[in-house]
Structure 1
Amino acid sequence: MKTLTVFTPTYNRANCLHKCYESLKRQKNIDFEWIIIDDGSTDNTKELVESWKKNDNKFEIIYYHKENGGLHTGYNKAIELANSKLCVCIDSDDFMPDDAVEKIIKFWNENGSNKYAGIMGLDFYINEECIGGRLPDKKSINLVDWAAGKYKCKLGDKKYVVRTELYKKVAPMKSFPNEKNFNPQYMHFELSKEYDFLVLNENLCFVEYQSDGMSHNMYQQYYNSPNSFRELRILLLSFSNAPISFKIRHAIHYVSNSLLAKQSIYDKRVKNKLLITIAIPPGYLLYKHTKNNVKKNKKYKSNTIDKFNDKTISKGK
C-alpha cells in the first residue's frame, strides 16, 4: 500500500495533462500512485497516458475510462480504486511543486492521527501568489468554521489531502440525471461533522483556471445542476453551530436551488422552517437572476457565433 494516492479526473485535457505528469515525475518522494479517471474524453487522452505508462516512471499509473458524468463521478471512481492511506486530487490542468508529496507525507507522519480527516494545504497561482491567502496559524481547523469566516482570513481554493478510509465512507457522492456539477467539496463538509483538518501552510498545488472549469460560469452550473447544489445547501444548513449569517446565505441559495430544481422549498431534512420562510423573497430574486444570467449568456454566445459565421461567409470561407 502506498502512503498517497494522487488522482486526476480529466475530460478532453490531453493538451495540458502533461504538466501534471511531468510534475509527478519530478517528485522527491515517490511513495504514491497516480490514478487518472478519464471522464469520457474524445481526444487522445488514452493514447497519451498509455505512452506514459511505458516509461520508467518509478510510480504506478492507473488509467480508468468511464462514461462522462462530471467531476464528482470522477472522484467517486478514484476513491473506489485508491489503495493508500491518503488521497489528494490534482486537477488535469494543475500540477504539484516538486516537493509536494514529500511535504504531505512528512507532515502527516509527524502530525496525523485518527483524530483528523486529513490535511488542508494551499493552492497557488502560476505566478507564485497564494490563492485566498494563508490559513489560520492553528494546528487544525474545522471546515465549516473556516467557510463561515470564524477565523477571519480570506477564503479561496485550498488543497485537501484526505484519509482514504474516510473518503470511502462518504463516497460515492449522489448523482442526479443530467447533472454534472456536484461539487466534491460536499464530501469535505460531510467529514467536518466529525473531524477537523490539520493546517499545512505550504504550497501543494499550482492552479491554472480554465474557462470551462468549475470555478467559472457559476450561474450556468446553478441552472444545470440545481438538485446537486440543493443537496449541498441542505448539508450546510444542518450545521447547528454555524453563525446566522452563514445559515441565511445558504438558505437563500437553497430556496433558489429548490425553485430551479422544481422541488419543495420545505424539505423535511431542513429543520429551521422559519429561516427558509424568511429566505423565500431573496431566494426568489436569486432564482430569477440566475435564469436571466443564463439566458443573457446564451443570447450573447448565439449572437457571437452568428457574427462569426456572417464574417466567414462574407470572406468566402
Structure 2
Amino acid sequence: MKKITIITPTYNRAKTLPKVFESLLHQSFKDFLWIILDDGSTDNTSTVVENFQLLNPFFEIIYKKDKNRHKFLTVLEGVKMVKTPYFMVVDSDDAYPEDALENLISEVEKIENQDDYISVMGLSADENGKIVGDKYPNNGFDGSIFEMRYKYKVRGDKFGIFITKTYQREISGKDFSQYEGKGYIPQSVIFNDYDARGIKTRFVNKIVRFYLKDDDDEASVSNTRWSGKNLFGLTEGHLSFLNSYGNQLFFYPKALLRNLIGYQTYALKSGRKISSIFTKIKNPWIKFLGIITLPFSIIYQKLK
C-alpha cells in the first residue's frame, strides 16, 4: 500500500495542472498516488491528464470527472476514496518544494497517538520563497487551529498532511447534502467542529507549499466575495465558527464580533429572515449579543 494519497480538485485548470505534475515528479518522497477530481471542467483538462498518464510517471494517476459540485463536496468525495494512511489536498494551481512530502511524512509519523491528531501543518511561501504570513511560535507546537490563529496570532495560508483514519472518522455519518448546489463552501465548516472538540494539529516551521496568488482568477472568493454564489458559504463559515467555539470566543472579543457581524451581514445580504439568523446561533449569550449588534450589521451590508 502507498503511504500518501494526493487529492487535487480542479475546475478549468488545464493551464496550471502541469505545474503540479512537475512538482510531484520531483518529490524526494516517492510512495504516493495522485487522484485528480475534475469538477465538471469545460476546458481540455481531460486531455492534459491523459498526457500525464502517457508519460508513465513513477506514481499512479487516477482521474475522475463529475458534474460541477464545487471544491468542498468534491474534496469530500476524494477523502472517502482514500485508502492510504495519509492524504493531502493539493491545489491545482500551486507548486511544492521537492522535499515537501518528505518533510510532512517525517513529521506525521513521529506522532505516536494519532487518534488524537488530524494533521500536520507547515508553511507556505510565495514565488520568491518568502514565507506567507507568520511562522509558528516556539519553533512549532501541538494544539488547535484556534490557538494558532487567535492566541498566537499567526497569519497567512498554511498547508499540510492529514491522518486518514482520523479525518474519515470525523466526517463519517455526517450529512453534507445541505451544501449541494450552494456554490463555495469553506472547509472551516468541518475543521471548526473537530478543532473545537480538541482534535489536535501539529504545526511545524517548514515550507511545504509555494502559494501562487492569481489576482485575475475571476472564480476566486476574494474576487467574488459579495456575489450571490458565495454568500451562502460565507454565512455558513461564520456560523460554524460561532457555534463550534462558543464560550471560548468571549476571551477573544475581536474574533467574536468580527465573526458575529460577518455572519449577520452575509446572512442579510443573501436574503435570510432576521428570525432565522438568530435561531441558528446555539450559544444564548452570543445570540443576545447578536441582537445588540444587528443594527450595525444592517448598516454594514447596505454599504456593500
Q: TM-score, normalised by structure 2?
A: 0.87
Query: 1:20 deviation in Å?
Result: 0.3
Counterpart residue type for residue 38 of structure 1: D
Distance in 2 (alpha carbons) for counterparts of 1:173 and 1:68: 16
Residue of 193, 205, 222 corresponding to 1:201: 205
Q: 2:185 aligns with which of 177, 182, 185?
A: 182
1:123-134 equivalences in 2 (<5 Å): 123-134=124-135
* Distance of 1:167 and 1:192 partners within structure 2: 11
Aligned 1:129-208 pairs, distance under 5 A: 129-137=130-138, 138-147=140-149, 149-153=150-154, 155-171=155-171, 173-176=176-179, 178-193=181-196, 194-208=198-212
Shift of 1:249: 0.9
Structure 1 residues 91-140: Cα deviation after superposition (integer angstroms, max 9, x where no partner): 11102111111111111112352221111111111111111121222421
Measure the CA separation in 2 of the matches of 1:119 and 1:282: 39
The match for 2:220 is: 214
Does 2:248 match 1:241?
yes
One of 211, 226, 233 as aligned partner of 1:228: 233
**Whole-angstrom CA distance in 2 between matches of 1:201 and 1:78:** 28
In structure 2, the residue corresponding to 1:43 is in which secondary structure? coil
Alignment gaps of 5+ in structure 1 = 291-317
- The question of 1:277 aligning with 2:291 is answered yes
For 2:109 and 2:180, the matched residues in 1 are separated by 41
Give the C-alpha shift of residue 59 in structure 1. Answer: 1.2
Query: Aligned in 2, Cα 1:80/1:231: closer, same or farther, shift over 3 Å?
Result: same
Q: Do the aligned partners of 1:36 and 1:64 also contact (CA within 8 Å) in 2?
A: yes
Q: Offset at 1:218?
A: 4.9
Whole-angstrom CA distance in 2 between matches of 1:30 and 1:24: 9
TM superposition shift of 1:215: 5.1
Between 33-42 and 165-174, report the one with greater CA deviation. Answer: 165-174
Cα distance change on mapping 1:283 and 1:160 into 2, 3 Å: farther
Secondary structure at 1:265's aligned position in 2?
Answer: helix
Q: CA distance change for structure 1 residues 170 and 220 in 2, over 3 Å: closer, same or farther?
A: farther
Q: Tell me by how many angstroms 1:265 deviates.
A: 1.8
| CA shift in 2, pair 1:3/1:289, >3 Å | farther
d(CA) in 1 for partners of 2:180, 2:268: 17
Q: Give SS of 2:151's match.
A: coil
Paired with 1:265 and 1:184, the residues of 2 have a C-alpha distance of 21
CA 1:78 to 1:30, structure 2 compared with 1: closer, same or farther past 3 Å? same
Residue-pair matches, total: 287
Normalising by the residue count of structure 1, what TM-score does the alignment of the two structures yield?
A: 0.84
Partners in 2 of 1:24 and 1:71 — Cα distance?
A: 21
Once the two structures are overlaid, the 10-residue window that deviates more, 57-66 or 237-246, is: 237-246
* Structure 2 match to 1:15: 15
1:145 to partner: Cα distance? 2.2
C-alpha separation between the residues in 1 aligned to 2:133 and 2:224? 18
Q: Which residue of 1 aligns with 2:270?
A: 261
Distance 1:12 1:94, change over 3 A: same
Is contact 1:40–1:67 with CA below 8 Å preserved after alignment?
yes
> 1:253-278, CA deviations, whole angstroms, 9 ceiling, x for partnerless residues?
11112212332221244322211112
Identity between Structure 1 and Structure 2 (%): 28
Q: Secondary structure at the match of 2:85?
A: strand
**Maintained 8 Å contact 1:11/1:40:** yes
CA distance in 1, matches of 2:50, 2:178: 29
Give deviations 1:197-220, integer Å, cap 9, x for gaps: 101111111111222253521523
Paired residues of 2:281 and 2:287 also in contact (CA < 8 A): no
Once residues 302 and 295 of structure 2 are traced to their aligned partners in structure 1, the CA distance between those partners, rounded to angstroms, is: 11
Partner amino acid for 2:133? G
Cα deviation 1:164-201 (Å, max 9, x = unaligned): 22332444745546422111233222220221210111
State the one-letter code of the partner of 2:147. Answer: D
**Greater Rg, structure 1 or structure 2?**
1
CA-atom RMSD, angstroms? 2.0
